Structure 1
Amino acid sequence: MTHFRFLKIFFFIVFPIFILAQPPKKKLTNLSYQELKEFFKKNEKDENKQLVYANAYLAKANKENNSIQKAAGWYLLSLLCKGDKAIRYLDSTIHYSKNLNDVKYPAYAYSRKAYELKYQSKYKEAIDNFLIAESIARKNNPDFYYDVKYSIAVLRSEELGEINEALKLYKECFNYYKEKNVEDDKYSYNYQDVVFGLADAYKALKQSDSATYYNRLGYNESKLTKDYEYNALFVLNEGANLVEKKIYNTAIDSIKKALPKMILYNNSENILASYYYLGKAYDGLGQKNKAVENFMKVDSIYNKTKRITPEFTSGYLYLISYFKNKKDKENQLKYLSQYMNIDSILQNNYKELTKKLQKEYDTPNLILEKENLIQALTNDKTKSYWGIGLLFLLVIATTSFGFYQYQTKKRQYVQFEKVMHTSTNISEPETIKTGKKEFKTIKSGIENIGINEELVEQILKKLNQFEITKGYLLSNITVQSLSDTFETNSKYVSKVVNTYKEKTFIQYINDLRIEYALQSLKKDPKLQKYTIQALAIEFGFNNAESFSTAFYKKSGIKPVYFIKQLEKLNKT
Structure 2
Amino acid sequence: MKELYKSSEKSQSRQQLYADAYLAKATKENNSLEKARGWYLLALLSSGQKAIIYLDSTIYYSRSLNDAKYPAYAFSRKAYELMYQFKYKEATDNFLMAENAAKKNNNDFYYKVKYSIAVLRSEQLGEINEALKLYRECFDYYKEKDVRDPKYSYAYQDVLFGLADAYKALKQLDSATYYNKLGYEESKLTEDYEYNALFILNEGANLVERKRYNAAIDSISKALPKVVFYKNSENMLASYYYLGKAYYGLGKKDKAVENFIKVDSIYSKRGKITPGFTSGYLLMISYFKKKNDKERQLRYLTRYMSIDSVLQSNYKELSKKLQNEYDTPNLVLEKENLIQDLKNDKTISYWKMGILFCLLMITTSFGYYQYRTKKRQYSQFQKLVSQPINSEKEIKKEVKTIKPETENIGINEELVKQILEKLSHFETTKGYLISNITVQSVSDNFKTNSKYISKVVNTYKEKSFTQYVNDLRIEHAVKSIKEDHKLRKYTIQALSIEFGFNNAESFSTAFYKKAGIKPAYYIKQLEKNSKV
> TM range, normalised to the smaller chain?
0.5 to 0.7
Q: Distance in 1 between matches of 2:207 and 2:325?
A: 31
The reply to whether residue 349 of structure 1 matches residue 325 of structure 2 is: no
Larger radius of gyration: 1
Q: Distance in 2 between matches of 1:363 and 1:256?
A: 30
The reply to whether residue 169 of structure 1 matches residue 155 of structure 2 is: no
For residue 85 of structure 1, the aligned residue among 25, 28, 50 is: 50
CA 1:106–1:388: 2 relative to 1, 3 Å: same
TM-score (norm 2): 0.61
- For the Cα contact (< 8 Å) 1:130–1:148, is it kept in 2? yes
SS at match of 1:103: coil
Look up the match of 1:114: 79
Q: Distance in 2 between matches of 1:38 and 1:181?
A: 27
Look up the match of 2:251: 286
- For the Cα contact (< 8 Å) 1:215–1:237, is it kept in 2? yes
Cα deviations by residue, 1:150-171 (Å, 9 ceiling, x for unpaired): 1111111111211111111100
Shift of 1:87: 2.1
CA 1:328–1:217: 2 relative to 1, 3 Å: same
Higher relative contact order (CA 8 A, sep 6+): 2
Greater alpha carbon shift after TM alignment, 157-166 vs 193-202: 157-166
Runs of 5+ unmatched residues, structure 2: 335-354, 368-532
Q: Distance in 1 between matches of 2:268 and 2:356?
A: 29
For residue 210 of structure 1, the aligned residue among 148, 165, 175 is: 175
Q: Distance in 1 between matches of 2:358 and 2:299?
A: 20
For residue 359 of structure 2, the aligned residue among 379, 383, 386 is: 383
Runs of 5+ unmatched residues, structure 1: 1-35, 373-378, 392-572
Q: Distance in 1 between matches of 2:157 and 2:190?
A: 10
Q: Distance in 1 between matches of 2:366 and 2:140?
A: 61
Cα deviations by residue, 1:423-459 (Å, 9 ceiling, x for unpaired): xxxxxxxxxxxxxxxxxxxxxxxxxxxxxxxxxxxxx
Q: Distance in 1 between matches of 2:211 and 2:118?
A: 27
Q: Distance in 2 between matches of 1:249 and 1:97?
A: 55
Greater alpha carbon shift after TM alignment, 268-277 vs 77-86: 77-86
Cα deviations by residue, 1:54-96 (Å, 9 ceiling, x for unpaired): 2221111111111111111111122223223222222221222
Shift of 1:51: 2.1
Greater alpha carbon shift after TM alignment, 359-368 vs 319-328: 359-368
Q: Distance in 2 between matches of 1:101 and 1:362?
A: 54
Give the partner amino acid of 2:169: A
Look up the match of 2:525: none
Q: Distance in 2 between matches of 1:64 and 1:249?
A: 66
Q: Distance in 1 between matches of 2:360 and 2:37?
A: 66
For residue 250 of structure 1, the aligned residue among 204, 215, 220 is: 215
- For the Cα contact (< 8 Å) 1:61–1:67, is it kept in 2? yes
Q: Distance in 1 between matches of 2:173 and 2:40?
A: 41
Give the partner amino acid of 1:353: K
Greater alpha carbon shift after TM alignment, 190-199 vs 314-323: 314-323
- For the Cα contact (< 8 Å) 1:158–1:311, is it kept in 2? no
Q: Cα RMSD over matched residues?
A: 2.7
- For the Cα contact (< 8 Å) 1:202–1:208, is it kept in 2? yes
Q: Distance in 1 between matches of 2:254 and 2:326?
A: 29
CA 1:322–1:108: 2 relative to 1, 3 Å: same
SS at match of 1:361: helix
Q: Distance in 2 between matches of 1:104 and 1:82?
A: 20
* Alignment map for 1:337-376 (pairs within 5 Å): 337-346=302-311, 348-350=312-314, 353-354=316-317, 358-359=320-321, 361-362=323-324, 365=327
Shift of 1:183: 1.2
Look up the match of 2:226: 261
Q: Distance in 1 between matches of 2:148 and 2:5?
A: 26
Q: Distance in 1 between matches of 2:199 and 2:58?
A: 36
Question: Segments of 4+ in structure 1 off by > 6 A?
Answer: 366-369, 379-382, 388-391
* Alignment map for 1:505-516 (pairs within 5 Å): none
Shift of 1:45: 2.5
Q: Distance in 2 between matches of 1:366 and 1:120?
A: 33
Give the partner amino acid of 1:325: K
The reply to whether residue 230 of structure 1 matches residue 206 of structure 2 is: no
Look up the match of 1:147: 112
Q: Distance in 2 between matches of 1:149 and 1:361?
A: 36
The reply to whether residue 270 of structure 1 matches residue 235 of structure 2 is: yes
Look up the match of 1:302: 267
Look up the match of 1:336: 301
Q: Share of identical aligned residues, percent?
A: 68
Look up the match of 1:69: 34
